């Protein structure tokens, strides 16, 4: 607006930016903070609370290409199980 000006320039700029796909993807949206963080409760018994994750698309070794990671939240004991990506839920159980 330093170099160019016309009547309703701010309205025209707002319309242009509202339709600009690149601007919409890169804009930092100001959001209301989520609030105070609340700590998770500490489990009282082993293996009552655990996390499960998969590490996939690994090079094939001994016909296995995926690692199943199981971690106990209380003791942080972690098990790594080599499986194939095609392993079904029934086979995991």
Residue 80, domain member (yes or no):
yes
Angle (CA) 38-42-45 rounded to 5° is: 155
Contact present, 27 and 17 (Cβ < 8 Å): no
Q: Let me know: does 66 contact 58? Beta carbons within 8 Å.
A: yes
Whether 67 is covered by a domain: the verdict is yes
CA 90 to chain centre: 26
Which structure tokens are listed for 16? 């242009």
User: 76 lies in which domain range?
Assistant: 50-92
Structure confidence by residue, pLDDT tens digits, 30-76: 777 778 888 888 889 988 899 999 999 999 999 999 999 999 989 98
pLDDT per residue over 2-21, tens digit each? 788 888 888 988 888 888 88
Looking at the structure of the chain, the number of domains it has is 1
DSSP 64-90: B-EEEEEEETTT--EEEEEE-TT--HH
72 part of a folded domain: yes
Q: Is residue 85 in a domain?
A: yes
């Amino acid at each position: 607006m330093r170099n160019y000006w016309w009547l309703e320039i701010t309205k025209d700029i707002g319309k242009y930016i509202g339709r600009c796909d690149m601007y919409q993807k890169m804009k930092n949206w100001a959001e209301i903070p989520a609030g105070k963080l609340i700590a998770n409760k500490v489990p009282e018994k082993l293996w009552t609370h655990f996390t499960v994750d998969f590490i996939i698309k690994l090079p094939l070794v001994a016909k296995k290409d995926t690692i199943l990671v199981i971690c106990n939240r209380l003791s942080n004991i972690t098990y790594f199980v080599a499986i194939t990506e095609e392993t079904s839920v029934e086979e995991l159980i």
